[in-house]
Structure 1
Amino acid sequence: MLYHVKMKVNLPADMDPERAAEIKAREKAYSQDLQKQGIWRHIWRIAGLYENISILDCRDHAHLHEVLMGLPLYPWMEMEIMPLCRHPSSVREGDQ
């Protein structure tokens, strides 16, 4: 199942910069591993904000929940999640 996920990161202003850098490094490694596995299909930065729009391909809602809860930045995120399905007017079978 495909999911459109908007993620907004809200790190505390008083967070230790070294701790923030370590969390961001773990987040990058985790997300890149998911991309290599084909789970995290697309990621786009929203220009000028600490937000992104991503497309994730998960087995089901429970798998999506597991993936998102594994994000090192999860405790500081706001998310909007929309399950997606193929539109009957689409001229493409896949999302390439």
Structure 2
Amino acid sequence: MEMNEESILAWNIIEKTNANLFLTGKAGTGKTTFLKRLKELSPKRMIVLAPTGIAAINAGGMTIHSFFQLPFSPYVPGTTFGSGETETLISSASSSDNIIRS
């Protein structure tokens, strides 16, 4: 994988900080290749999330809705999902060093 200036910057942010990173780009720009290489070489624990099933499969991750166990119905801010679900989400996310959305 050839690294350009932007991918080197993204790599360094992930490896040297605890900052969140939103990885975006047009089709064919190497996002999935970058993520696969990062997962292969990084000692950090990470979760790769994607908005669609196809993107999640390609990136070796899971959909945002699946990970956070979001309901299929609309969510109204200020309401709750149900008993204990918020604690489960926080527990799942806190066991990872990084959550990467592809």
TM-score normalised over the length of structure 2: 0.27
Greater share of residues in helix = 2
TM-score normalised over the length of structure 1: 0.28
Greater share of residues in strand = 1
Which structure has the higher relative contact order (CA within 8 Å, separation 6+)? Answer: 1
